[in-house]
Structure 1
């Protein structure tokens, strides 16, 4: 791995000779890009948005999320301006403003859900784009019955466990400016799609689309999710750290959510700690690690922005791909 110095202390990051170059920022360098963006979230709001076992502070908001919101605001404004010029000056037929789509990818256990919720909150404070919706790919998982019929329950989260056709149709409809779109509702408690329950997406200013494999390319020439993204983010960390966070979260859920009689994992709630930890590691090594290595990590360099977390969960480095 090599890097070339640039003015201001940043460098062009290269994983290999064929990798896309990135500008690499330390946490302090990234924080300085906040400029005059005001702090828009309180401690109570942050507490409500953070995930289980994922510490997030006001410093994280001011040093990581606010500079990112400023960058994304610039992208939204520039794209709207370009679209307006093309439609009025070239096509001569002004159209509606369609949602700006942000894709967020990364491993199970890396903190994508919390990252996406916090990003949604800070972006919605901008007067230019107050309506920010968040959709996860969980809603496009095949129902448990179908996964069982296809012998895919042990492959849940792998590309083949999703209704990709429905996912692509949804993203295409968002970009076409269609209204009142329905996304199937996924229950983590039931570990399944809930029949006849939907999330409604009605032409927001920004749509955040979060999931494991959203940056994956297709094996043929068919459309993929990232074809519809205006910006993409990969949440990164050392694999050993992600495994540790996954195990910690599993043990926390065992003491909380798994205790509900309605939980799909209720039969795990009374396992002794050492057995529960061993089970979590087996699940990680049998399902989540292979998926990370084969399908998720190889897409990292397709992202416009790579956000690298340290063992403490704090973001230590941000890499921005050249425009």
Structure 2
């Protein structure tokens, strides 16, 4: 464990972090864990035990303290207020594995008696519809800050934090590559909400001197999934190649036009998309937010966590 006086983080290697599990039992089977993975994730039970069980214990401790603080505030003001969820933000590049990690954290946190109701809110649903993006001429900047309806996202987070018993959020289809018009996600008094997306720790450029509210202001804990640029590009290309042979074969897929590309053509296309869009977004908008996270999980080239940075309190 490294505790650099001049760094806001305490750094752990994998072995040091795994010791913080503190005998918390693994509640997931290998089959259940496999069902939570994305197309290119290969997380073993040992990896889940070493990394995500200690993380679930840490979040449980934070959530318990948060619930106790809520009770203390009720005592102070002399009235009982509505329960509000503990909100976790998970950020990181495209292809880094945010969705898989979110699902694993949800599955583990749901096993704790003090917060069994855990939901995931993905920011993809808050992208403007393709029709709007095309009208604005920013379809090639999908995933950049200006492609999201941030006001709608802030409204949903505000409703959750105000203790509303039912909150509705838009959904997104990765098959059609567009927001679903007739479907919604409904939250019913969640204990914990995991908000996952590339943009969740970003802060808009200030245009006015008046105070601004950011998406991350609603977070009680935030995580950034980190990896080296070369690994991210490799994972993006590999995922594109696998989707070419699976999801892209569906005629309903927005990317069906790529279904018949040769291996070389598919690889070149993926690298082009990565360089023109995702890499640019990473450096302009995503990577600069890493230092705002409470916890940084760094992945090696095999998609395994090799270093953990926990912000000092």
Is residue 92 of structure 2 the alignment partner of residue 92 of structure 1?
no
Unaligned stretches of 5+ residues in structure 1:
1-8, 15-19
- Cα separation, 2, equivalents of 1:187 and 1:283: 20
Residue 11 of structure 1 aligns with which residue?
3
Per mean C-alpha deviation after superposition, the further-off stretch among 179-188 and 39-48 is: 179-188
Query: How much has 1:13 moved relative to structure 2?
Result: 7.8
- Cα separation, 1, equivalents of 2:146 and 2:24: 41
Kindly report the root-mean-square deviation, in angstroms, between the aligned alpha carbons of the 2 structures. Answer: 1.0
Query: How much has 1:101 moved relative to structure 2?
Result: 0.1
Residue 308 of structure 2 aligns with which residue?
318
Is the partner of 2:4 in helix, strand or coil?
A: strand
Unaligned stretches of 5+ residues in structure 2:
none
- Cα separation, 2, equivalents of 1:109 and 1:193: 20
Per mean C-alpha deviation after superposition, the further-off stretch among 256-265 and 215-224 is: 215-224
Query: How much has 1:185 moved relative to structure 2?
Result: 1.2
Residue 140 of structure 1 aligns with which residue?
126
- Cα separation, 1, equivalents of 2:214 and 2:236: 28
- Cα separation, 1, equivalents of 2:16 and 2:243: 36
Is residue 260 of structure 2 the alignment partner of residue 292 of structure 1?
no
- Cα separation, 2, equivalents of 1:169 and 1:94: 24
Runs of 4+ residues deviating >6 angstroms: none
Query: How much has 1:10 moved relative to structure 2?
Result: 2.6
C-alpha spacing 1:227/1:269, structure 2 compared with 1 (3 Å): same
CA contact (8 A) 1:23 1:322 kept: yes
Write out per-residue CA displacement over residues 117-167 of structure 1, whole angstroms, 9 at most, x where no aligned residue. 001000001111000000100010000000000011100000000000000
Is the partner of 1:33 in helix, strand or coil?
A: helix
Residue 240 of structure 2 aligns with which residue?
250
Residue 6 of structure 1 aligns with which residue?
none
Write out per-residue CA displacement over residues 86-140 of structure 1, whole angstroms, 9 at most, x where no aligned residue. 111x211111221000000000000000010001000001111000000100010
Count of aligned pairs between the two proteins:
309
Write out per-residue CA displacement over residues 20-70 of structure 1, whole angstroms, 9 at most, x where no aligned residue. 510000000000000021101000001100111111100111100000000
1:195 paired residue among 181, 184, 196: 181
